[in-house]
């Protein structure tokens, strides 16, 4: 790459996932019509819903080094994209074609999403310790360090993984943070929507009839909009402590989520 060329990194949500929530957007410039992939984005700060290009949304110049970009693409995003293609194209809801390597690819992508979260490598305490040692921790250095230890990370112990298929008319949305968390006494439930009709969930082991193995993938179906809306509402809490942006394939569901957010604010004021 030439020295004067700027590399734009997708900070957290990969282009592959963004494209699953995208639609075609037409732009006219100087008499020419260009078509690009775009997503709808709700800002919890303003309540506005914008149409953002997949290629540029959530990017920052020179955020990651070329080495980190290469590793994310080849060892995290690429394998995950292949697995999700298998899932979306599986006939008769049969996911028996998934291999142990596919399950590992899913687990690695979910863990990488946590590692990539800006709030996790912008921690003031961590940076203060680094500075006292004469080290400047850039996001790229932090992520590169954690990626090298990704397989040893176990951020959600005592959980099993479920694939949720959404057959309701309401699409899943995805927070900029990628993951939404439901806090329960018996343990947290973590949801990762990767398509308007599909979502992975990490669920406490006691919710399973039998203890799943490390590469097991249980499946379930959400048939009602209420079930999907409950998961989508969780993105509010996640994003309030992150970038305050939620991505969706349809404007109407993002509008509903903002109404829910406004009601939550009113309750706190009272």
Note whether residue 49 is domain-resident.
yes
Predicted TM-score of the model (pTM): 0.88
Q: Could you tell me the two tokens for 180?
A: 């939404």
Q: How far apart are CA 104 and CA 61, in angstroms?
A: 30
Q: How far apart are CA 15 and CA 121, in angstroms?
A: 21
Question: Rounded to whole angstroms, what are the CA distances from 93 to 24, 81, 153, 191, 219?
Answer: 27, 18, 31, 20, 9
C-beta of residue 244 within 8 angstroms of C-beta of residue 236: no
Range of the domain at 123: 8-269
pLDDT for 46: 96
The predicted structure's pLDDT at residue 90: 79
Domain presence at residue 77: yes
Structural domain count of the chain: 1
Give the Cα separation of 248 and 40 in Å (integer). 5
Determine, yes or no, domain membership for 3: no
What's residue 122's pLDDT? 63
Residue 1 domain-assigned?
A: no
pLDDT string in tens for the chain (270-residue length) = 444 444 689 999 999 999 999 999 988 877 788 899 999 999 999 999 999 999 999 999 989 999 999 999 999 999 999 999 999 887 766 666 688 899 999 999 999 998 888 766 666 665 666 666 666 778 888 888 888 888 888 888 899 999 999 999 999 999 999 999 998 888 899 999 999 999 999 999 998 888 887 778 889 999 999 999 999 999 999 899 888 999 999 999 999 999 999 999 888 776
For residue 78, being part of any structural domain is answered with: yes
Helix (H, G, I), strand (E, B) or coil at 160: strand
User: What's the pLDDT at 128?
Assistant: 67
Contact 42, 250 (CB under 8 A): no
In a domain, 95, yes or no: yes
Residue 211's pLDDT is: 83
């Amino acid at each position: 790459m030439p020295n004067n060329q700027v590399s734009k990194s997708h900070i957290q949500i990969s282009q592959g996932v963004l494209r699953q929530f995208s639609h075609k957007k037409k732009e006219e410039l100087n008499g020419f019509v260009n078509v690009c992939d775009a997503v709808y984005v709700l800002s919890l700060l303003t309540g506005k819903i914008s149409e953002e290009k997949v290629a540029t949304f959530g990017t920052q110049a020179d955020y990651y080094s070329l080495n980190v970009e290469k590793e994310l693409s080849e060892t995290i995003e690429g394998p995950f994209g292949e697995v999700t293609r298998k899932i979306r194209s599986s006939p008769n809801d049969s996911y028996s074609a998934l291999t142990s390597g596919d399950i590992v690819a899913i687990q690695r992508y979910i863990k990488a999403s946590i590692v990539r979260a800006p709030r996790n490598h912008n921690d003031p305490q961590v940076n203060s310790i680094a500075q006292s040692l004469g080290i400047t921790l850039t996001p790229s250095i932090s992520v590169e360090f954690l990626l090298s230890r990704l397989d040893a990370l176990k951020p959600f112990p005592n959980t099993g993984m479920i694939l949720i298929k959404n057959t309701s008319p309401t699409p899943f949305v995805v927070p900029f943070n990628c993951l939404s968390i439901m806090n329960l006494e018996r343990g947290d439930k973590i949801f990762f929507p990767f398509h308007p009709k599909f979502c992975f969930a990490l669920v406490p082991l006691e919710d399973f009839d039998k203890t799943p193995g490390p590469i097991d993938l249980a499946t379930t179906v959400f048939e009602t909009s209420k079930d999907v809306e409950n998961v989508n509402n969780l993105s509010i809490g996640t994003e309030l402590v992150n970038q305050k942006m939620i991505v969706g394939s349809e404007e109407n569901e993002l509008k509903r989520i903002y109404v829910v957010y406004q009601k939550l604010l009113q309750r706190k004021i009272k």
